[in-house]
Amino acid sequence: MKNYTPVLKCKACSLRSRCFFGGLTEKEYEFLTANKKEVDFKAGETIYKQGTKSKYLVFLLDGMAKVYIEGDNNKNFILELVKPFQFLDMPAIFDDDMLFRSSAAVIKSRACLIDIEAFKTIVLKDKKNVPKLIKHYNSAQSRFSDRLINVIYKNMEARIADALLYLVNDIFFSRSFNLTISRSDLAELAGMSKESTSRILTQFKTQEIILINGKEVEILNKKYLEQIARFG
């Protein structure tokens, strides 16, 4: 992890409309800039750790990160992949600042670390920010619940199908993509072992549902993959 002096003031960012802080006043942008720092993370580097307390909120500026639950015997489950201009999972900012999940960089990434107390000041100063925060929490919990339900009630083929469709529909927005995550990450996205994941990917390839060439993945029969994900 390498710290950087902020290279861009929040009020000067052309992409601030995509940020949680898109509607702040000029003074609030200056306050935010004074209470944040930019940090670079290497691929695979931990960004924050489940079961610890955090003084910062993490907003991804570049790259890709994963948010995951750490289980027993080094078994993890990836709840979601996070792309730029999104918050990574939030700690309990109005309780004890505890983190209930972990996060790590999938590829080389840059994040903005925002002081929690400064964030609270901004949110509580203007009532219009409170509904935005509640909406963010509700959206995150809904996504996490959907991911857990898919794993609990579906067989292995359906889990892999779900994971592939998640990459197609929510991450890469294409039936053909370069798999930037590792096979281990794909297994953790499906809540399965790496061996079972490889076996089912080979099965899907034999059935001509997908095509894999190194890290290049192409979904050949999305409709059939959706049927597997739905009824498996």
Q: Please tell me the predicted confidence (pLDDT) of residue 189.
A: 95
Which of these CATH numbers, 1.10.10.10, 3.30.70.20, 3.20.20.140, 3.40.1280.10, describes 154-231? 1.10.10.10
Contact 61, 85 (CB under 8 A): yes
Q: Please tell me the predicted confidence (pLDDT) of residue 8.
A: 57
Per residue in 107-146, pLDDT tens? 999 999 999 999 888 888 877 777 777 787 788 888 888 8
pLDDT at residue 3 greater than cutoff 80: no
CA 73 to each of CA 70, 76, 189, 193: distance values in angstroms, whole numbers, following the listed order: 9, 9, 17, 12
**Angle subtended at Cα 210 by Cα 209 and Cα 211, rounded to the nearest 5 degrees:** 140
Contact 53, 96 (CB under 8 A): yes
Q: How far apart are CA 45 and CA 203, in angstroms?
A: 32
Per residue in 68-111, pLDDT tens? 999 887 889 999 999 998 888 877 777 788 889 999 999 999 99
Regarding pTM above 0.85, the answer is yes
Each domain of the chain, given as residue ranges in start order, spans 2-151, 154-231
Q: How large is the C-alpha radius of gyration of the chain?
A: 19
pLDDT mean over 21-28 = 79
Q: Which CATH superfamily is domain 2-151 in?
A: Jelly Rolls (2.60.120.10)
